[in-house]
Chains A and B, each alone.
Chain A
Amino acid sequence: MDLLAQILVNGTLQGGLYAVMALGLALVWGVLNIVNLAHGAFIMLGGYASWYLYTYAHIDPFLGLPLTAAVMFGLGYGLQRGLLNLVIRAPMFNTLLITFGLEVVLTYLAQLVFSADFRTINPPYAGNSLAWGPVVLPLARLAAFGVAIVLTVGMWLFLLHTRLGRAIRATAQNLVAARLYGVEPRHLYAMTFGLGIALAGAAGTLYGTVSQINPYIGASLTAKSFAISIIGGLENPLGVIVGGLFLGIVESLTTLYIGQTFADVASFGILVLVLIVRPSGLLGKTT
């Protein structure tokens, strides 16, 4: 019983991180209709940025997170303005190809620049943990979970209640009307992609504090983010939280009762099931 409780807690903590990983992908997908296959590579870059900040400038990863996110935002804005806006009207296949190309380039650039060594952001409190009855709460994971939830809920409130957030939702729903009411799509798309990449950078920072980063983590993180976006639905950042927690818990349970190697089978099996049964996501409307 204690073991089950511990597994559920582990899954929940992991799920929060999954949510913030998928959030940027879902945002970009929902608004720009680009499935960004390089999303995981941007998570990887965010992880390295925070690793360098911590290792050479001794900036705590949680304090350095806004800086990493800001730099990644600039990178995302520039990429959308200079590259992706050129193909935004093209069929989805073209944007898939371009973002796949980006993923390959970023991965091999990372291998050249950062080497293939595994890195972990290891602040002094990394080994500490809290005890909650019989359940152990590793401090770094708990903090990463907290930040992930704050970011996701913050994103939700931003989309609901700010002028830019409203314009992002409006553009996703009706581009023609948004343009008629003064939205300049090139700028708005770049802001949205920038936000998506900033979230990826933040996710990378959190990932680096609880797990190991290397240049090749991108592809599998993209796949996982994709699955969570589908499971949660693209409409609503809270759906991404649900999708992330669900996947985290399912993976932990699968690891405990069936075996580590089956964790991915379970998560992508669920993806297929969701696509068949509830294609608009767990929280999506079934119309």
Chain B
Amino acid sequence: MSGPADLIPRTPLLKVANLGAGYGGMPVLHDVSLEVYPAEMVALVGSNGAGKTTLLRALSRMLPCSGSIVLNGHELAGMTPDQAFGLGLVQVPEGRQLFDRMTVQDNLLMGSYRRQDQAAVNRDLDKIYTLFPRLTERRRQLAGSMSGGEQQMCAMARALMAAPVLMMVDEMSLGLAPVVVQQLMEVLAAIQRDGVTVLLVEQDVQLALSGSDRGYVMETGRIVHHGQARDLIDDPAVQQAYLGL
């Protein structure tokens, strides 16, 4: 299998090469390589414990790693989380991790904590409230008091307020009703159309692949399949392991 063979060669926005990481000397990730191209939606799928969240933690520099992570020509491997964040690598963490006892509006403004251009921040705030009308109704409400779906919207809106170059969404569908997940997928598609590159990390393989351009399948800390999302859905090995077909 190859990369985006039907397209002229482009420079990847994110290029991860031979990445290794683990906890307390126990290796979790082995020799992970992947590429994300500008304005793509890429799915990173795999079962629970495959190392997806560990990979995200390594990418956002919350975890030490070996190998190389290049975003927009900058090597991230030696950086701190706030430096990587400053280059536009923004994560929507698993379990949302909202500031529960702060209002929705304050949560969104924390997303833009590092941005200096106040006029652009206000413009984005208006744009994001248009994208998430539910959050407009609840802007003065404490984030922790909302429903799971609304909290996930708030977490994604907070990430957008950071003006991401690459938005990494971790287990967006976890614990949410299918109809809510479908709404969130539509929002993600709108975000992608707006020019934001999305790396979607999911246990729900069918959901993630059906909404993405390309996909990577992880198993026990390694990338075992990758390719166009529609090819992966049709791949018998992937079907047997993840899609219950």
Contact = CB atoms under 8 A, between A and B. Distances in A.
B109 interface: yes
B212 interface: no
A181 B101 contact: no
A182 B162 contact: yes
B97 A174 contact: yes
B158 A179 contact: no
B102 A177 contact: no
Contacts of A178: 99, 110
Contacts of B22: none
B102 A170 contact: yes
Interface string B102-123: 1000100111011000000000
Contacts of B91: 180
B157 to A, nearest CB: 12
B62 A181 contact: no
A257 B162 CA distance: 59
B99 A180 contact: no
Size class of the contact patch on chain B: 20 to 34
Query: Which of A166, A177, A179, A183 is most buried by chain B, counting CB atoms within 10 A of its CB?
Result: A177
A107 B176 CA distance: 57
Contacts of A182: 82, 85-86, 113-114, 162
Nearest to A164: B113
Nearest to A173: B99
Interface residues of A, number: 17
A180 B81 contact: yes
Nearest to A285: B101
Given A174-B98, A174-B100, A180-B97, A166 B81 contact: no
B149 interface: no
B97 A176 contact: yes
A183 B93 CA distance: 15
Contacts of A170: 99, 102, 106, 110, 113
B96 to A, nearest CB: 9
B102 A173 contact: yes
Contact of A181 (B80, B100, B102, B113): B113
Interface of A: 163, 166-167, 169-170, 173-174, 176-184, 235
Given A180-B90, A181-B158, 6 more contacts: A166-B109, A169-B99, A177-B93, A179-B62, A179-B81, A180-B91
* Shortest beta-carbon contacts, A-B, top 4: A182-B114, A177-B97, A182-B85, A170-B99
24 contacts: A163-B109, A163-B113, A169-B102, A169-B106, A173-B99, A173-B100, A173-B102, A174-B97, A174-B98, A174-B99, A176-B62, A176-B93, A177-B97, A178-B110, A179-B62, A179-B81, A180-B85, A180-B91, A180-B93, A182-B82, A183-B82, A183-B113, A184-B82, A235-B101
